[in-house]
Amino acid sequence: MERVAIVGAQWGDEGKGKVVNYFSGNYEWIVRFSGGANAGHTIYYKGKKYVNHLLPSIIPEGDSKAFLGAGMVIDIEQLIKELEILEADFPGVSSKIYIDLEAFLVLPYHKEEDGILEELRKNPIGTTRKGIGPAYTDKVSREGFKIYHLFDEKLLRERLEEVMYLKKNIYKERFNFTSEEIFNYLMEQKRKLEKLNVKFTSAIDMAQVFRNTSVLFEGAQGVLLDLDFGTYPFVTSGATMAHGVSSVGFSTFELDEVLGVLKAYTTRVGEGPFPTEEFSEIGEKIRKFGNEFGATTGRPRRVGWLDLPALRYAKLRSGLTKFVITKADVLNGFDEIKVCVAYDVNGEIKEIPSSSYDFFVGKPVYETLKGWPDTNHVNFLKYMAFIEEKTGIEISHISYGPKTEEMCTKNDLIKNI
Ligand code: IMP
């Protein structure tokens, strides 16, 4: 039974949603293993655009089912919004959605805390303000709430009393939520979810099912935003790499493939190091052609050239085995394309950053390649061959537009040239 993880190989926004959606028809289960509503996975289905922040990128009318794993932090109000949009077009789709009882909740005060912290920080991270950091912080400091708390009103009430007491004493007058208010809010959301016929289960209950069928694990954000190995502290608060599948009871050794989705250039939203960032009008052009504005926040994305040291780092950190390249069409028409092949780290030339620190101090060393008029041109093949040779990873597929069907294998592309 095939098990594949799809992760972002850069700083997120590589187009994972579309790639997952493209492959999802081949898998029984699409499993999201981390992150929350900070993600924005855009899919086009039957001519309509859907932006999912929490829902795995399943084909709404297909046979595959979706699982939201324990590594996630779930804003159920947002989840309900996404389900209601899908339900309006595809009645009954919610019955294909399963949620792990061990997943954590993002509560209204987490979003407020996210904003408060960003405003107090001398160097803001540029978070999405979706409450991700505070929800994961509460998980680690043991003040979090799990999905299962929704189903035990007595336990929920007791716990809310305890946690609200702590919060009030920490945040003082900045914290204006009462346990009664949060309790009522959660009961209302639970009722709505139950009405939608979503299933609540656990990776333990699903273990036999998952082990006997094909599973596609959908990552969120990108390797360089990983809490442990991204460009800390300018990272998200969860696991963005393939090891996140452990929260669903799998080891990375059980994966047949780890597909790294890479954009033909690099983008990032929020603050933090970005060695190949392009501030010139070329950067502006790429942002415009690539419509590089955040799917979650609408913020303009920072834009730069492809960064091979970063991809090599992503390969080693996350065990990438293949690449899918997206948005190559955005670079159509450029005479020359620059590619960063190494970093100059205080005089030492490094092809692979030794640690995430090198992203802060490394200066890009570039090579220049010839551009292409369209992706059916030999120069684009040379660009891909260059990436493959320099990273040691094969590119299996090329995405050349936002629609799910705008994707082909590299071999198909070669045949057409
Ligand atoms: P947070 O995840 O909202 O705490 O944001 C932390 C950092 O991760 C910020 O720089 C965000 O812009 C970035 N980030 C979070 N989610 C995504 C995503 O899905 N795509 C790209 N960047 C993201």
What distance in angstroms lies between residue 11's CA and the mean position of ligand 1's atoms?
8
CA of 155 to the centre of ligand 1 (A): 32
Q: Which of 13, 100, 138, 358 is catalytic?
A: 13
Residue 184's pLDDT is what? 98
Predicted TM-score (pTM) of the model is 0.96
CA 334, 337, 341: angle at the middle one, nearest 5? 170
Dist. CA 206 → ligand 1 center (Å): 30
Looking at the CA of residue 128, tell me the nearest atom of ligand 1: 3
On whether the CB atoms of residues 306 and 264 are closer than 8 A, the answer is yes
Q: Which residues lie with the beta carbon below 6 Å from any ligand 1 atom?
A: 12-13, 38-40, 125-128, 130, 132-133, 220-221, 225, 234, 236-237, 269-270
Q: Whose CA is nearest to atom 21 of ligand 1?
A: 12
Q: How far is the CA of 134 from the centre of ligand 1 (A)?
A: 13
Low-confidence ranges of the chain (pLDDT < 70): none
pLDDT at 299: 86
3-state secondary structure 129-155: CCCHHHHHHHHHHCCCCEHHHHHCHHH
41 is catalytic: yes
* Spatial contact of 265 and 303, defined as CB atoms under 8 Å apart: yes
Closest CA to ligand 1's atom 11? 127
- Report the phi/psi class of residue 129: left, alpha or beta, with left for phi > 0 and alpha for psi in -120 to 50: left
Judge whether 213 and 250 are in contact, CB under 8 Å: no
pLDDT of residue 292: 94
* Annotated catalytic residue, options 41, 53, 110, 149: 41
Q: What does the pLDDT read at residue 36?
A: 97
State how far the Cα of 133 lies from the Cα of 73, in Å rounded to an integer. Answer: 10
Residues 6+ positions from 399 with CB-CB distance below 8 Å: 15, 18, 19, 22, 324, 325, 326, 327, 328, 406, 407
pLDDT at position 60 = 87
pLDDT of residue 297: 80
Query: Which of 41, 78, 127, 326 gets mutated to test ligand 1 (max ligand atoms within 8 A of its CB)?
Result: 127
* Alpha carbon 146 to its chain's center: 21
Question: In whole angstroms, what is the distance from residue 414 CA to residue 417 CA?
Answer: 5
Measured from the Cα of 114, ligand 1's closest atom is 4
Mutation choice for ligand 1 from 225, 277, 297, CB with most ligand atoms inside 8 A: 225
Q: Which residues contact 360 (CB under 8 A, 6 or more apart)?
A: 231, 273
The predicted pLDDT at position 253 comes to 95
DSSP-derived 3-state class of residue 248: helix
Q: Which of 106, 221, 227, 356 to mutate to test the pocket of ligand 1 (most atoms within 8 A of CB)?
A: 221
Q: Which residue type does 252 have?
A: T
Tell how far the Cα of 262 is from the centroid of ligand 1, in angstroms: 17
